[in-house]
């Protein structure tokens, strides 16, 4: 019989956007963690993502903004 390996899950929150992330690795400096979106907002010159990804993210942000303007409740 083999044993089932149990992985410990760590939850961290982005210091800028407040997004919550789960990882299986412990962070050395959890207060310095930022999301990918926040990183690219801080460093637009280092944004090397393909153009279609940038367009899709922009459309998603606009859709969320329009839902918020309509007063539609979002999940927390």
Confidence tier at 1 by pLDDT (50, 70, 90): low
The structure's pTM equals: 0.61
Rounded to the nearest 10°, the torsion over CA 53, 59, 63, 66 is 140
What's the rounded Cα separation, in Å, for the pair 75 and 21?
16
Q: Give the domain ranges of the chain.
A: 10-70
Rg (CA), the chain: 17
Model confidence pLDDT, tens digit, residues 3-34: 888 889 999 998 888 888 898 999 898 888 88
3-state secondary structure of 21: strand
Q: Count of CB atoms within 10 A of residue 27's CB? A: 12
Q: Are 13 and 20 a contacting pair, CB within 8 Å? A: yes
């Amino acid at each position: 019989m083999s044993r089932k390996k149990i992985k410990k899950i760590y939850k961290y929150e982005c210091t800028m956007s407040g997004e919550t992330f789960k990882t299986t690795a412990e962070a050395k400096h959890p207060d310095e963690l930022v999301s990918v979106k926040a990183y690219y907002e801080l460093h637009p010159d280092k944004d090397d993502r393909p153009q279609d990804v940038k367009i899709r993210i922009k459309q998603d942000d606009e859709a969320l903004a329009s839902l918020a303007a309509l007063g539609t409740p979002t999940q927390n």
